[in-house]
Copies of this chain bind each other. A is one copy, B any other.
């Protein structure tokens, strides 16, 4: 029993207990140990321990569609009575008819318009309430779980592990910044000021004596691909030493991060677990991973096999 207790204590003290032993987990631990060991040639002062995480498909599920797109579709249905013209206008017509192929046919332009329109026309405070209310009850169409329960347990442990090692951890997502901020602190332990994302234009004005920030149906900043390094520099002012993603939208973020001086770390989550999650990569509409799968290993990036490297997928598993 003494032996068993010791094993129990060991297991409990492993900050990455949902990760299987192997070279992926070892690469993470080696990197963190190297940059945090005082006197090591690779030592990095805490102020420069910047780590950036993509969100969709890296920290939580993005299939069968981005959670934010599910939110936008719900908003179209909910606000359709105020927009009778939507019955005959794409992309709304397809959404209201439940025709996702029709929506897809409107292309990126249609989808961006859909997101912009459903996310605009209210104040920032109002939008925060709408998004908060929605995420509190919205459920995944297949698992019936809350979306915020479909976050990846190994990645939650990784964030905590980095925090425990005095890293400053940021989300850097193509998703809407104000869609994420209401819940990232509670779900990931990442406060709103450490969330970087895409945004629509806003305006400050005083209405009936009350200052408000209103949201407009026009893109301000797209935090994807080349946009990620730009968003990071704008928000953080430093190049990360570690970056975590899952798709080619993260390629430039990892490229920029891992080409800096000193020890660097890039990691790509590869969705290869058809049994416990969804297997997808080169041909996926959401979270396409093609170039990263070919070039990542050559660039020294760590590719996570969800199937082999993760003991557990979701916190409630």
**Is the CB–CB distance between B124 and A211 below 8 Å?**
no
Q: Which residues of B contact A47 (CB under 8 A)?
A: 185, 191
Interface stretch, picked from A67-75, A192-200, A241-249, is A192-200
Taking the closest CB of chain B, its distance from the CB of A237, in whole angstroms, is: 3
* Residues of chain A in range 230-256 having any CB-CB distance to chain B below 8 Å: 230, 233-238, 252, 255-256
Interface centre among A206, A213, A227 (most CB of B within 10 A): A213
Tell which of B170, B177, B205, B230 touches A234, judged by Cβ atoms closer than 8 Å.
B177
Tell which of B50, B213, B234, B236 touches A233, judged by Cβ atoms closer than 8 Å.
B213
**Is the CB–CB distance between A206 and B238 below 8 Å?**
no
**Is the CB–CB distance between A229 and B204 below 8 Å?**
yes
**Is the CB–CB distance between A237 and B193 below 8 Å?**
yes
**Is the CB–CB distance between A229 and B256 below 8 Å?**
no
Q: Which residues of B contact A195 (CB under 8 A)?
A: 237
Report the bound CA distance from A227 to B220 in whole Å: 14
Residue A202, interface by CB 8 Å: yes
Report the bound CA distance from A36 to B161 in whole Å: 29
Residue A271, interface by CB 8 Å: no
* Residues of chain A in range 141-182 having any CB-CB distance to chain B below 8 Å: 168, 170, 177-178, 181
- Residues on A lying within 8 angstroms of B by beta carbon are 47, 50, 124, 168, 170, 177-178, 181, 185, 191-195, 199, 202-206, 210-211, 213, 226-227, 229-230, 233-238, 252, 255-256, 259
Given contacts A202-B234, A213-B230, could you give 14 more A-B pairs where the C-beta distance is less than 8 Å? A47-B191, A177-B234, A192-B236, A193-B193, A193-B235, A193-B238, A202-B233, A204-B226, A204-B230, A204-B252, A204-B256, A210-B259, A213-B229, A235-B235
